[in-house]
Structure 1
Amino acid sequence: MSTGNGTGTKENPWKLKTPPQSSEYELYKDEKDGRAILVCTVGKTILHYDYRCVDDLYAMLKQHGDWMELGSADEQKPAKEGTVEAWGRSADNPVGGWYGLKKGFRGRFGMYIPPLLEELGLAEVEHNPRNNRMRAI
């Protein structure tokens, strides 16, 4: 479901919708402290994710080989086991913990990163009102 807009730069960000298609947000690639990051703007809230998450999540989904529940949750709430959200904060992922980089805003990985993989043609994402899943293409 590529929207065909945006190149992922600050001047021309990807304009995306959350998996349920209920909210719009923007993502672009930037650099902070010598690290490639994704800047996610949702209304007035700005979140940062380690840019490695794109390749790492795709590789994990390829290895998983099937649909995986997104399980989006705020940082302060526990993530449901076996979900994209749980993987995005697990000590067992390639970065050994959170892909989210701003303390207090490190969650919601399962909400904002899957649509980017869909935009980039790396994954399919469901668009139901809740309990959405994704899989690598």
Structure 2
Amino acid sequence: MSTETGTKENPWKLKTPPQTSEYEMYKDEKDGKAIIVCTVGKTVLHYDYRCVDDLYVMLKEHGDWMELGSADEQKPAKEGTVEAWGRSPENPVGGWYGLKKGYRGRFGMYVPPLMEELGLAEVEHNPRNNRMRAK
């Protein structure tokens, strides 16, 4: 039996940056594309798996702390935040890393703790206005 984490059988168990909510993520494939399945309560979100590498490269180039700025898909993201980058036409995928229409937002809430779990980033855990930076 495999003890590898990040699988459907053994997902990453994570907490939102303020440490207030628990959720799970695992790597899967959909339509031949590597994705991250994020389960928050009964809600299931999908993100393009390449966001992990792309976000790391962007944070390395940024070189300093960056505000997370999490927002629902229907709300505008604050400029200069991880959330804004995760939906920007200027990022490597030319838009949303979130893949399920209506649930494409919250990139700045759910992806940073995964980056921290993978040892790629530091994430603050304040009640609000958290930031992250590449390790």
Post-superposition shift, 1:67? Answer: 0.1
Post-superposition shift, 1:2? Answer: 19
State the distance in 2 between where 1:116 and 1:48 align: 13
Q: Render the CA deviation track for 1:65-102: whole Å, top value 9, x for unaligned.
A: 00000000000000000000000000000000000000
Indicate the residue corresponding to 1:72 in structure 2.
Answer: 70
State the distance in 2 between where 1:48 and 1:70 align: 18
Structure 1: gaps (5+ residues) = none
Pair 86,2 (structure 1): closer, same or farther in 2 beyond 3 Å: farther
TM-score, structure 2 length as denominator? 0.97
CA contact (8 A) 1:123 1:135 kept: yes
Identity percentage over the alignment?
A: 90
Pair 26,2 (structure 1): closer, same or farther in 2 beyond 3 Å: farther
What count of residue pairs does the alignment treat as equivalent?
A: 134
Task: Give the 5 Å matches for 1:14-53.
Answer: 14-53=12-51
* Structure 1 vs Structure 2 CA RMSD: 3.0
Helix, strand or coil at the partner of 1:85: helix
Task: Detail structure 1 runs of 4+ shifted over 4 Å in the superposition.
Answer: none
State the distance in 1 between where 2:47 and 2:20 align: 21
TM-score, structure 1 length as denominator? 0.96
Helix, strand or coil at the partner of 1:48: strand
Structure 2: gaps (5+ residues) = none
Pair 117,55 (structure 1): closer, same or farther in 2 beyond 3 Å: same
State the distance in 1 between where 2:116 and 2:83 align: 16
